Structure 1
Amino acid sequence: MIPTQLTQLVVAVGGLNLLVGAAFTAAVYTALERVPTLAGVFGFLLAAAVVATEAHLGELLLSVTVAEMKLLVIAGVLGAALGIASFTTLFEPTIDGGR
């Protein structure tokens, strides 16, 4: 893959995962506020769905070498971590036992 294309792909994957991380955290916070006992299960199932979807779409849409794939995975993880960290820094769930 041409370096410019790889750079664009790394930025796109990182940015997309930043948004996914923030949305994931918002969804888990909402579940935590409504049904605290099921929030962990919901978070686990949502995380599994995100990973499976990204793996499947990545395989269908991209033709990359192993080294490029490793770089994309690192960008995705860093993007998701930044999205989660940003959201948890800015917002805090209100846990009142589902009342």
Structure 2
Amino acid sequence: MEIFTDDIVALDGITGAVIAEGKEALRPRYVERFKGPVHCELLGRLVLGAVVVDREIITGLPGDGVADCMATYVVDIEAGKIKKATFVWSPRTDGVKL
């Protein structure tokens, strides 16, 4: 949680829905998500100024699940922390685990 500003805004990249506003609203989601042996493998990263786009494969989800994820982060350069995060998430159904 230290990588986020106190007023972080997290969004669903498909619907635009707000997932959480503020670090304290985001914390329970992260606690739940990372209870198990979740592993995020970074496949690629693009950076342009204060914007970072990560492409990941996530394993260790409930039911031995695997998911594709793309996360776009806007960084508060002065604070050195993420102030906006947008996630596009899709369960992987092909059975492939990278």
Above 0.5 in TM-score? no
* Greater Cα radius of gyration, structure 1 or 2: 1
The TM-score bracket by the shorter chain reads under 0.3
Normalised to the residue count of structure 2, the TM-score between the two structures is 0.26
Higher relative contact order (CA 8 A, sep 6+): 1
Normalised to the residue count of structure 1, the TM-score between the two structures is 0.26
Higher strand share: 2
